[in-house]
Structure 1
Amino acid sequence: MSPRSKEFDQETVIEQAMQLFCQKGYTATSIRDLVAHLGVSSSSLYGTFGDKDAIFVLALKRHSHMEREMLRQVLSQPNSEPKVILMQMFQALIDSLLADELPGGSLTLKASVELENRKPEVTAILAEHTEETAALFTEFLAKAAQAGQINLRQPAGDVAHYILFNFFNLNFLAKVNLDRACLENYVRLVLSVLD
């Protein structure tokens, strides 16, 4: 008797699970939800990935990698003013949040709020993601300062963390204040650190 072949593409299933976790969060997503959303049996899901935690970890790793790759592409735009690039990033986030294109927001943000320090593997993924993202911002800011495009009165790494944490904050602010002008003023104030 030959072993049964997998009836689904694992990468596609992880992608779909990532989308569901982003919409509903970890706690509100049940195995039943995953089975229904992914179109696979619970035995196939358990047999391939293990439990809900294991699927979530794979989805979170994928999401955090995708976020960093998108950021890397945005920050490497040639012939663009650094402050304009950062303003466009914040503006795109505001547009998405106000249009409810990110109903759950970022999975990395959702995981950090929802799971806190309850799952060590998730905490480790989030810490690595934050530091790698801050490193991308640090490199971007250091190059811009060296080229005379921005003023840094603090070390590039400190400013990078400041900008990154305010990017996270914007997700939360948009949940309680959907006034575009208020959010845009907040961003201008954040980026004034580069003047």
Structure 2
Amino acid sequence: MARTREFDTEAAVSRAMELFWTRGYEATSVRDLTQHLGIGQGSLYAAFGDKDGLYRATLEHYRATLATAALRSLEEGADVRAAIRALLTERVRIAVERDGQGCLAVNAVCERLPQDVATRRTVRDMQDASREALTEVLRAARDRGEIADRHDPHTVAAFLVAFLNGLLVSSKITPDPRALEPLIDVALTTLD
């Protein structure tokens, strides 16, 4: 008879996410994970398959929590410029408050590609969701006359996602929001 899982997998994924975010994938061993999560190696493998499976689960958790909350706040914003500024500023704040740890998804791409196709797919899905959400917000703002209609909303959204990725990498090098926020002002001129 199979043993019942004796730990909360969602809580384990959340705790593993913090460890991977702090140390990175390569510097986090299975032993580190089992000690940090307070579970046995067999339990980790039974629940997630392997370290890669747990890592992908942490990326999905990141997507479902922080990334989704950021997009939701964007969609709820009345003034598109203020909403986009708040989104970009908040993402920088989160990246910087962790002593320059940056963004878990951007870190995953920088550390795991090209060898990890599954991580690439997971992060690409996150990027696609962000781009599509931004596209819809920008399209609605253009229709309301809030932003210039000379650019395609999809292209501007793709630019903003690429800009955010670069900004999050920069936050690892310069973990100072005051130094990075003026760059957001420049990016927002694409809406003029």
Query: Could you tell me the TM-score, scaled by structure 1's length?
Result: 0.90
2:113 and 2:107 mapped to 1: Cα distance? 10
Taking the TM superposition and a 5 Å limit, the aligned residue runs for 1:1-195 are 2-78=1-77, 80-98=78-96, 100-101=97-98, 103-195=100-192
Distance 1:23 1:178, change over 3 A: closer
Deviation, structure 1 residue 101 = 3.3
Q: 1:91 offset after TM fit, Å?
A: 2.2
Measure the CA separation in 2 of the matches of 1:8 and 1:185. 45
1:31-64 Cα distance to aligned partner (Å, 9 max, x none): 0110111000112112222211111111112212
Matched to 1:93, the amino acid is R
Contact (CA 8 Å) 2:135, 2:154: kept in 1 or not?
yes
Give structure 2 stretches of 5+ with no counterpart.
none
TM-score when normalising by structure 2: 0.91
Percent identity, aligned pairs only, is: 27
Structure 1 pair 64–189 and aligned structure 2 pair: CA distance change class (3 A): same
> Alignment length, in residue pairs?
192
Deviates more, 1:32-41 or 1:48-57: 48-57
Any conservation in 2 of the 1:96–1:102 contact (CA below 8 Å)? no
Change (3 A) 1:64 1:179: closer
| SS of residue paired to 1:8 | coil
Deviation at 1:180, TM superposition (A): 4.2
| Residue-by-residue CA offset, 1:44-98 (whole Å, 9 max, x unaligned) | 11222221111111111221232442133112225x2110111112222333344
**Structure 1 stretches lacking a partner, 5+ long:** none
Structure 1 distance, partners of 2:123, 2:175, is: 27
Q: Secondary structure at the match of 1:136?
A: helix
Shift of 1:152: 3.6
CA contact (8 A) 2:17 2:59 kept: yes
Asked if the contact 1:31/1:42 (under 8 Å) is kept, the reply is: yes
User: Shift of the alpha carbon at 1:16?
Assistant: 1.3
Instruction: Check whether the contact 1:57–1:122 (CA below 8 A) recurs between aligned residues.
Output: yes
Give distance in 2, aligned partners of 1:191 and 1:137. 13
Amino acid at match of 1:92: E
